[in-house]
């Protein structure tokens, strides 16, 4: 095991897959000479050249379409959209073409394309640079959606995504790129379906993904230390398809569920997980499932207002205590 940063894990996965297969290339704004806004492609331009590490204009719809078209011919592009807020401009290409072409061509065409993009609330970036858009992507049939919460997951998911014949959207979080964690020294692949139990427990399940996994873990420690409540934490690193069996298994053990997300609650991950729980685990529940989500408002620029708009550890603890009838 080696302890490396999140961005280093992504860079290593890029490097290994490009060295293995000459049809793997990457493209995006400032990913070449500058090495990427978050350094995920650092050093690759010097190693592989301008034909395989392509600096693009500010034209998300154009270069995403170019990458998807090349995937029809056998290439395996890794497209970086600098911020998920800008992915709105590429949705037609990704949703109407990449996600549907295999079905609409009767299996004759595939789109083995990977789109990576950071999102989430970072630090005083304002409403137009703080989108949490995972709910939009996970609602599209034909598109896989994953969201790593650690360097190990970032490395394993990117390598699996590059070798997958389906289009894959990797939803990264802007606050995680300098996070450190252990990554196996040998080649490692994480399945593009499933979830992980990051902390075992028996009294309540806390469901999280990317940054909210850490809120759940810290809340679980407080609940155990101060309130004698043993919380299980489930990392929903795959958002489409969601791990229905894993969700059911954990709730059937703990009989309570709290779903924690940084995004607004409407039509989101929490809503979908609650639907699964109600459909598959209703008679296992000792209390109604609860969502901990952001306020339904654009993210403010002011730092104090920004923090107030999104949930934190204390909101998770409070939700669990309320579920158990405690203050």
6-19 mean pLDDT = 98
Q: What is the number of other CB atoms lying within 10 angstroms of the CB of residue 324?
A: 14
Evaluate if residue 326 carries a pLDDT over 90: no
Residue 150 CA to residue 139 CA, distance in Å, equals 24
Evaluate if residue 327 carries a pLDDT over 80: no
- For the beta sheet containing 196-199, the strands, ordered from the edge strand earlier in sequence to the opposite edge, are 196-199, 231-235, 204-208, 257-260, 290-292
Residue 213 CA to residue 261 CA, distance in Å, equals 9
**pLDDT class for 261, splitting at 50, 70, 90?**
very high
Residue 171 CA to residue 263 CA, distance in Å, equals 13
Q: Is 303 a catalytic residue?
A: no
Q: pTM to 2 decimals? A: 0.96
Catalytic residue among 16, 129, 221, 255: 129
Residue 196 CA to residue 10 CA, distance in Å, equals 20
Catalytic residue among 8, 60, 134, 172: 60
pLDDT at 122: 85
Nearest to 204 by CA among 141, 128, 131, 292: 292
Read off the pLDDT of residues 113-129 as tens digits, 9 standing for 90 and up.
999 999 999 888 888 89
Residue 174 CA to residue 211 CA, distance in Å, equals 9
Backbone angles phi, psi at 79, to 5 degrees: -100, 125
What domains can be seen in the chain, in order of their start residue?
2-183 (3.40.50.970), 196-323 (3.40.50.920)
DSSP 8-state code for residue 127? G
pLDDT at 154: 98
> Sign of the CA dihedral 267, 271, 236, 305?
positive
Residue 207: strand pairing partners: 234, 259
Q: Cα–Cα–Cα angle for 33, 38, 42, nearest 5°?
A: 40
DSSP 8-state code for residue 95? I
Q: Is 123 a catalytic residue?
A: no
Evaluate if residue 211 carries a pLDDT over 80: yes
Run of H or E including 103 = helix 101-104
The set of residues, in sequence order, having a beta carbon less than 8 Å from that of 218 and lying 6+ positions away, is 313
């Amino acid at each position: 095991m080696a302890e490396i940063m999140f961005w280093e894990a992504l860079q290593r996965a890029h490097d290994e897959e490009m060295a293995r297969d000459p049809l793997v290339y990457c493209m995006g704004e400032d990913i070449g000479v500058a090495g990427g806004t978050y350094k995920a492609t650092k050093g690759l331009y010097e190693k592989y050249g301008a034909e395989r590490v392509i600096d693009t204009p500010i034209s998300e719809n154009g270069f995403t379409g170019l990458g998807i078209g090349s995937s029809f011919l056998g290439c395996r592009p890794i497209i970086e959209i600098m911020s998920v807020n800008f992915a709105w401009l590429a949705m037609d290409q990704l949703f109407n073409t990449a996600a549907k072409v295999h079905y609409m061509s009767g299996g004759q065409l595939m789109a083995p394309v990977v789109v990576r993009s950071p999102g989430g609330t970072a630090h005083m970036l304002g409403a137009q640079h703080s989108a949490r858009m995972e709910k939009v992507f996970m609602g599209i049939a034909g598109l896989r959606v994953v969201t790593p919460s650690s360097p190990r997951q970032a490395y394993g998911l990117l390598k699996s995504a590059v070798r997958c014949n389906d289009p894959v959207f990797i939803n990264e979080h802007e606050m995680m790129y300098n996070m450190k964690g252990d990554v196996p020294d040998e080649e490692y692949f994480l399945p593009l379906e499933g979830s992980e139990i990051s902390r075992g427990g028996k009294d309540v399940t806390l469901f999280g993904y990317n940054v909210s996994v850490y809120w759940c873990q810290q809340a679980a420690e407080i609940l155990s230390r101060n309130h004698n409540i043993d919380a299980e934490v489930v990392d929903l690193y795959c958002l489409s398809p969601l791990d229905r069996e894993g969700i059911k298994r954990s709730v059937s053990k703990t009989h309570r569920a709290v779903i924690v997300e940084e995004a607004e609650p409407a039509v989101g991950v929490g809503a979908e997980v609650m639907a699964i729980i109600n459909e598959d685990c209703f008679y296992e529940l000792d209390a109604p499932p609860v969502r901990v989500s952001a306020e339904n408002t654009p993210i403010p620029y002011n730092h104090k207002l920004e923090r107030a708009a999104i949930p934190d550890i204390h909101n998770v603890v409070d939700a669990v205590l309320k579920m158990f009838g405690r203050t």
